[in-house]
């Protein structure tokens, strides 16, 4: 199935399937603040039953393999899924973003070129918006490529107010910034999050708005479970910190995702 | 207007217009010490009403978009403006310099190649010269590509004295150093500045000399306003520091530009 | 013997001999945690009397030469050895791994391409698995490219249990991850080690299992000697630390290999 | 004289003259420990009256210009000088070494290719050997490409003893390591030096041996003067440090060269 003479370069896409898609909407959720984007993208993939059709390798991903629970390995990669529905979707997720400035640009441009061939016109990138304090009811802030999109999407409850000259770093920003030059339009949906822990609650807030925009119907039970699990861990960390102890025991829990 | 198959590389120039210009003088003001160069270039653009004709993108700019106050995004870029006058001008400004050593060289060489095609022979690069203490009446220090230029420009009040073997880092230096090899000549005008805050006063000192050299007549009201605003902020920071408090409140003010 | 117009690039292989080999098994032992892999590979080379047939240079190795005891120099490099036996072997070792992310990928891919031409189907990469505490009887943990390999190799005493989502960084991981795409299969054998000192004991544990898999018969006297030497150094460091002194005297001993 | 369409790349050599030379000996002295190599090379150039024939620019040198005392600028570069004598010489010096690992390799290979065209067979690289304490009578340690060279040069008083597995970092090492592959032979001469200050005394020790090998007769008055100047500065720093004061006044003196 895979090319035996394949050489991984700055962005090497290996297809396991070449689906037929009609102007698919591109959705991106890669690791970032609170892991909100990745959690949301992965949950969406599970809930709608999207199918993986390509792996993306890069000399700009960490030079390492991940060891799965069964003892087998997996090379650092990003993954592309598709879903055929009222609106076709292509979903980008993975465990890594490019490590270098140039790598970020090259990876994003390769992905945009791929979806451009499918006719993609609309992009939603998903991420977290760190506010430094715990958030009970996370709002979803947006940033758009075009003013008309803001008008169109404000009715879904996305806040497009002044972020005080902030920036969106990484794939969530670049996909939109470079996508604009390739005649695409899009929005970055950022769930409010403390930024200190993975945040399934913020991922849910983002996903509820996205599902509403895309008019797909999904459940949130798994995100809910994760949120409760994280919440318990957070409480335990607090207790440990208040009792002055056991930083080490708690330390690894921050990154459970 | 823009090429749909555009791929951003180390230095990718996207023209929105191809103006007719006669041996334009190149003026550069990018971020640096006290943001003096950028403030001066932007003020000049506003005052003379220069027109943007090209954006420069680079895989060496930060992989991020900037969110504007209205919620729309802007990809990291540099910008080129032109002005047709007694002497034609091309003005380079932007929010970033290249992040890597190589990127700096490639960007500068691409810009020099562009203006070489327009017949550019003269370059003025604008910057700040950090002295570590507050400066009331900033002098403007110069460094030139050729000894004859020093003679020519000393009468404008530029100080070309010994800087003790110092260096000029980034685009302001490279444009001159590499420009020399392309048969151009030029001067770097450096306004004295503390180096601790953005310094519209120093930008004005630089601009007054540049305007005099170019024989253009511009106002300074907006720079004056900004200088007063910064001055108030500085006083407030001092008060806060003396009262031992509120570093956080003051922290963000350093970079208002 | 060597090409006079040779230019070292990201991965430049210089052959001193082109051996005839039949589907050689690739064995890798480069510097890493506890130097386990390198110690094991070098000991194997010595014991079976493998022959060097190629040097690998790279613009991604440290830009330096190593001064040998006799005052002659040796450029930073990796080395390839071969051994013709019941199963032919190609053994990769050296004093360095690539310094950059991209360099790691390029070097590994060049080596895989080389052994692919020899028909290599099986890879064993050797390394250490840092546990942070002293280990008396090091176990050997494995990670494999395919589930069938795990079944095949568990009988040799390799532990393929859950490593809790860990990763294998560098050539030991990449050779397997990228090798999979080139129709090879393989296992990373990781000897338990404190991670604080070079660990000949852990290297021996790894090598005993590898020798058993390859069905080659080797002695361990030299590794035994080294282990005792290191053990004495470790005791001396402990004594020095307990007496509160002489960190400097002990400092250099950590890296004797 | 210089190419107007020149573009600086990883290693761009610009000739001002193409001298006729017969198998010139290459001598390298670039910045490093105690600036010994650079001081020695520059002193040699002055004393024998060598002529500059080429500048080397690189996207791997710092992106900056140096401001001379007269207010004119000079782009970061290396310089090549020649001298026609009983033995022809090519001398490499400059204010910078390449900033990146790859840059070091590419620059060194470009220089070796240039001198290979002139028929160069012998290289002397000059540097300092930091010992961490003040040295009154610096010895000169050597490292050679071939054992026969050690025999040949030991009679000049160079010490080729065991350096305990040390390395030579940068151009001084790479020129020899890569030169060997291009059929050249050579020696690195390292003057003992504290490593804390520029060391004209160590440079003299290196140069005396080199002059003796090359059979050229040069004076050392200027190095002597510099050594006395540095010695006074060192004494002053000591006094200041003992009086507990004025670190700032002394701080800049460390790097006078």
Q: Does D242 touch chain C (CB under 8 A)?
A: no
Q: Which residues of chain B have pLDDT under 50?
A: 1-3, 246-257
Handedness of CA C195, C200, C205, C208 (dihedral sign): positive
**With 0-12 CB in 10 A as exposed, 13-18 as middle and 19+ as buried, what is A112?**
buried
Which of B71, B96, B98 should be substituted to probe chain A, the one whose Cβ sees the most A Cβ atoms within 10 Å? B71
Spatial separation of the C-alpha atoms in residues C202 and C191, rounded to whole Å: 5
**Cβ separation B60–A162 shorter than 8 A:** no
Rounded to whole angstroms, the Cα distance separating D123 from D111 reads 12
Nearest-angstrom CA–CA distance, B11 and B26: 18
Using DSSP bridges, classify how beta strands C122-130 and C89-94 pair: parallel, antiparallel or unpaired.
unpaired
- Beta-carbon contacts of B246 under 8 Å, excluding residues fewer than 6 positions away, are B240
C203 in reach of chain A (CB within 8 A): no
**Confidence band of D250 (pLDDT split at 50, 70, 90):** very low
Contact at 8 Å (CB) between B170 and D64?
yes
Chains D and A touch (3+ CB pairs under 8 A): no
Chain C: partners with 3+ C-beta pairs within 8 Å: A, D
Q: Is the minimum CB–CB distance between D82 and chain B shorter than 8 Å? A: no
Sheet containing C167-169: order of strands? A73-75, A64-67, C167-169
Q: Is A168 on the interface with B (CB under 8 A)?
A: yes
- Which chains, if any, share at least 3 CB pairs under 8 A with chain B? A, D
Tell me the H-state helices in chain B: 36-48, 101-117, 147-154, 171-181, 200-214, 221-242, 247-251
How confident is the model at residue C139, as a pLDDT? Answer: 95
Output the pLDDT for position B6.
73
Which among A101, A143, A181 has the least Cβ separation from residue B63?
A: A101
Question: How many angstroms separate the CA atoms of D142 and D161, rounded?
Answer: 8
Residue with more model confidence, A249 or C225: C225
Write the DSSP assignment of B27-57 as a string of letters: EEE-S-GGGHHHHHHHHHHHHHT-EEEEEEE
The pLDDT of residue C246: 44
Element of type H or E holding B123: strand B122-130
pLDDT for the residue numbered A105:
98
| B6, B61, B70: residue with CB nearest A147 | B70
Question: Which chain D residues are closer than 8 Å to B161 by Cβ?
Answer: 71
Closest CA to B74 of B66, B83, B64, B86: B66
User: Which letter, b or e, does each residue of C84-112 get, where b requires 16 or more Cβ atoms within 10 Å of its Cβ?
Assistant: eeeebbbbbbbbbbbbbbbbbbbbbbbbb
Q: Which of C108, C177, C184 to mutate to test the interface with A (most CBs of A within 10 A)?
A: C177
Min distance C255 CA to chain D CA atoms (Å):
12
> Is the CB of D173 inside 8 Å of chain C's CB atoms?
yes
**Closest CB to A59 among C102, C116, C188:** C102
Residue of D101, D147, D160 with shortest CB distance to C62? D101
**C-beta separation of C134 from C197 below 8 A:** no
How far is residue D213's CA from residue D211's CA, in Å, rounded to a whole number?
5
Strands A185-193 and B64-67: unpaired
Q: 3-class SS at C12? A: strand
Judged on CB neighbours under 10 Å (0-12, 13-18, 19+), D182 is buried
Confirm or reject contact between D234 and chain C (CB < 8 A). Answer: no
C70 and D147: CB-CB below 8 Å? Answer: yes
Q: Do D178 and C70 touch (CB under 8 A)?
A: no
Q: How confident is the model at residue D201 (pLDDT cuts 50, 70, 90)?
A: very high
State the distance between the two ends of chain A, measured CA to CA, in whole angstroms. 31
CA distance D249 to C253: 39
What is the tens place of the pLDDT at every residue in A101-111?
A: 999 999 999 99
Structure confidence by residue, pLDDT tens digits, D129-184: 999 998 889 999 999 999 999 999 999 999 997 555 689 999 999 999 999 999 99
User: Per-residue pLDDT averaged across D186-194, rounded?
Assistant: 96
Nearest residue, CB atoms, A177 vs list B65, B71, B100: B65
- Bridge partners of C185, per DSSP, are C122
% of chain A surpassing 90 pLDDT:
80
A69 touches chain C (CB under 8 A): yes
- Pairing type for strands B25-29 and B51-57 reads unpaired
Q: Give how far the C-alpha of residue A7 lies from the chain's centroid of Cα atoms, to the nearest Å.
A: 27
Q: Which residues of D touch B109 (CB under 8 A)?
A: 7-8
Amino acid C256: pLDDT? 34
Provide the token pair at D250: 């002394």
pTM summary value = 0.91
Chain B contacts of D251, Cβ < 8 Å? none
At residue B247, the 3 state secondary structure works out as helix
Query: Which residues, numbered 109 to 128 in chain B, qualify as contacts with chain D under a Cβ-Cβ cut-off of 8 Å?
Result: 109, 113, 116
How many Å apart are CA D211 and CA D134, to the nearest integer? 25
* Residues in contact with D205: Cβ distance below 8 Å, sequence separation at least 6, in sequence order: D137, D138, D139, D140, D191, D192
Whether A174 sits inside 8 A of B99 (CB atoms) is: no
Residue C143 to residue A2, Cβ atoms within 8 A:
no
Q: What contacts A31, CB < 8 A, 6 or more positions away?
A: A37, A38, A94, A95, A96, A97
Mean predicted lDDT score pLDDT of chain B: 90
Confidence of residue A27 (pLDDT cuts 50, 70, 90): very high
Q: Which residue of C has its CA nearest to A5?
A: C182
pLDDT of residue C39: 97
Cross-chain Cβ contact D181/C65 below 8 Å: no
Contact D144 C62 (CB under 8 A): no
A60·C102 Cβ contact <8 A:
yes
- The closest alpha carbon to C38, from C125, C123, C108, belongs to C125
Residue C180: its chain A contacts at CB < 8 A? Answer: 73, 75
Rounded Cα gap, residues B158 and B206, in angstroms: 9
Neighbours of chain D (3+ CB pairs under 8 A): B, C
Q: What is the pLDDT of residues A178-233, one digit of tens each?
A: 999 999 999 999 999 998 899 999 999 999 999 999 999 999 999 999 888 888 88
Q: D25-29 and A89-94 as β-strands: parallel, antiparallel, unpaired? A: unpaired
**What's the pLDDT score for residue D6?**
72
- Whether residue A161 is predicted with pLDDT greater than 90 in this model: the reply is no
The CA distance from A66 to C162, in Å, is 12
State whether A64 and C150 contact (CB < 8 Å). Answer: no
In this structure, the strands spanning A78-83 and A89-94 are antiparallel
Asked whether the beta carbons of residue A163 and residue B67 sit closer than 8 angstroms, the reply is yes
Domains identified in chain D and CATH numbers: 12-220 (3.40.50.10900)
Question: Which residues of chain C are within 8 Å of residue D152 when distances are taken between CB atoms?
Answer: none
Task: Write the DSSP symbol of residue B172.
Answer: H
Residue A233 Cα distances to A31, A42, A198, A199, A225, angstroms: 20, 21, 11, 12, 12
Instruction: Give strand pairing partners of C52.
Output: C81
SS (H, E, C) chain A: CCCCCCCCCCCEEEECCCCCCCCCEEEEECCCHHHHHHHHHHHHHHHHCCEEEEEEECCCCCCEEEECCCCEEEECCEEEEEECCCCCEEEEEECCCCCCHHHHHHHHHHHHHHHHHCCCCEEEEEEEEECCCCCCCCCEEEEECCHHHHHHHHCCCCECCCCCCCEEECHHHHHHHHHHHCCCEEEEEEEEECCCCCCHHHHHHHHHHHHHHHCCCCCCHHHHHHHHHHHHHHHHHHHHHHCCCCHHHHHHHHHCC
Mean pLDDT of successive 10-residue stretches along chain C, which has 257 residues: 68 96 98 96 97 98 94 96 97 96 97 97 96 92 96 94 76 97 97 92 97 96 90 84 56 36
Find the range with the poorest average confidence among A9-23, D6-20, D152-166, D174-188: D152-166
Contact A150 B99 (CB under 8 A): no
């Amino acid at each position: 199935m895979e090319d035996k003479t394949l050489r991984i370069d700055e962005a090497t896409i290996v297809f396991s399937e070449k689906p037929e898609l009609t102007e698919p909407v591109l959705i991106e959720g890669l690791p970032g603040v609170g892991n909100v984007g990745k959690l949301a993208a992965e949950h969406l993939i599970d809930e709608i039953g999207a199918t993986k059709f390509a792996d993306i390798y890069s000399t700009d991903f960490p030079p390492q393999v991940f060891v799965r629970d069964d003892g087998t390995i997996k090379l650092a990669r990003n993954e592309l899924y598709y879903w055929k529905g009222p609106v076709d979707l292509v979903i980008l997720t993975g465990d890594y973003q490019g490590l270098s400035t140039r790598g970020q640009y090259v990876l994003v441009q390769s992905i945009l070129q791929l979806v451009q061939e499918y006719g993609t016109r609309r992009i939603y990138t998903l991420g977290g918006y760190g506010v430094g304090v715990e958030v009970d009811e996370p709002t979803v802030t947006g940033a758009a490529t075009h003013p008309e999109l803001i008008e169109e999407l404000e009715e879904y409850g996305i806040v497009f107010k002044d972020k005080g000259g902030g920036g969106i770093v990484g794939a969530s920003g670049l996909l939109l910034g470079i996508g604009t030059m390739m005649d695409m339009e899009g929005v970055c949906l950022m769930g409010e999050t403390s930024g200190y822990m993975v945040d399934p609650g913020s991922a849910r807030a983002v996903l509820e708005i996205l599902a509403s925009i895309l008019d797909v119907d999904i459940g949130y039970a798994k995100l809910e479970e994760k949120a409760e699990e994280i919440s318990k861990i957070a409480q335990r960390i607090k207790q440990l910190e208040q009792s002055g102890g056991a930083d080490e025991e708690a330390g690894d829990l921050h990154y459970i995702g």
